[in-house]
Amino acid sequence: MSASRPNLICTFLLILIAGNSTAIAQSPVSHVHGNAELNVVLMEKQLQVEFVSPAINLLGFERPPITDVESATMNNTIKQLQHGGWLIEGVPSTCQLSTEEFEAPFFEERESNKHDHEHESSKHDHEHESSKHEAEAHSNFRVRYLYDCDAALKKQLRILAFDHYNGIETLTVQWITNLMQGYTQLSRDNPVLYLE
């Protein structure tokens, strides 16, 4: 792939990201407790980061909150994810950070779906039902941040997800810059992402 064709890479990138989101939304296969996913795009002065994690990694549970403590944990987690700024160290404070997308687990809707589902169960075949149950048994948080900066960003980013959430043991990272792309696995002992 030629380095002088950023447009081509951009197109490829969009396909890559769109493909990933679809896979995450529709397939429970990529949902592994203890693992979270990062999709990183660095285009000189712009850094886009998508973070996807099973709810249990961040909350310690993966069902509707029951106690007051669990409700507070849920609310604090949502606030932190929505505000951004917690995930990466090494981005200049002059960069403008915006949260472009945010999805919290839909525990309550899932409950009501369950009700409908029981009603409809006679209409569906068995195979379809069991796959739906599997998909409903797990929930993700998903958030996408955009850092808009005045100057080119560093190629080393320390990921703080492990410091904030004990439930995250590994981070599967797919990254792309205008020159290169890569795939890596980060951990608590190895939290620095090298985009080169």
Interface residues with Zn ion (CB under 5 A)? 54, 62, 138
- Closest alpha carbon to 154 in 47, 20, 38: 47
* Smallest distance, Zn ion to C-beta of residue 118, A: 22
Residues present in the chain in total: 196
Sort 180 into a burial class: Cβ within 10 Å, 0-12 / 13-18 / 19+.
Answer: middle
Contact status, residue 59 vs residue 107, Cβ threshold 8 Å: no
Residue 44 phi, psi (nearest 5): 55, -90
Q: Which is nearer to Zn ion, 51 or 147 (CB)?
A: 51
Q: Which is nearer to Zn ion, 110 or 138 (CB)?
A: 138
* Smallest distance, Zn ion to C-beta of residue 56, A: 5
* Smallest distance, Zn ion to C-beta of residue 81, A: 17
Q: Which is nearer to Zn ion, 37 or 62 (CB)?
A: 62
Q: CA–CA separation, 185 vs 119, rounded Å?
A: 43
Q: Which is nearer to Zn ion, 29 or 123 (CB)?
A: 29
* Smallest distance, Zn ion to C-beta of residue 97, A: 28
